[in-house]
Amino acid sequence: MKKKIIYMISMIVLVTVIIVMMILPKREIVSVSLFSDTATITYTDAESLQIIGDAIRTVKKVPGAVDVGPPSYRMTVTYEDSEAVQYSVYMDFQTKNGFLIKDSNSERMLDLRKKNSEELADLLAK
């Protein structure tokens, strides 16, 4: 009896999560601006925004606080509702490994997944 109840509750929760994920719209990025000591880059094309959006959506939060030096880039991501979110981008262009730090939570490192880090490094190196 208990197993059936647990199974039913689990199914209800799973179905609810799936429905909510389908209903909630993804926030669309309309532009990304990156600033460094030597360059300012703004992306508005669909392919570049997709690469950057995928990188942001798939980060892995690293536990603990970080203390790092100056970033490779400062990045402003602007969404369709005009909200702007600021990140620091740390990228090693030789190994194509990188991570982000969101300004609103500057002690938390957001590790880029390997594929996304490589794509972002290639995009920024153009």
CATH number of 26-125: 2.60.40.4400
pTM for the predicted model, two decimal places: 0.76
Alpha helix (H) ranges present in the chain?
A: 2-23, 46-57, 114-125
What pLDDT, on the 0 to 100 scale, is given for residue 3?
Answer: 80
Residue of 96 and 14 predicted with greater confidence: 96
**What span, in angstroms and rounded, lies between the C-alpha atoms of 80 and 99?**
24
Alpha carbon distance, N-terminus to C-terminus of the chain: 61
Summarize the confidence of residues 97-126 as an average pLDDT. 92
Q: Where are the domains of the chain?
A: 26-125
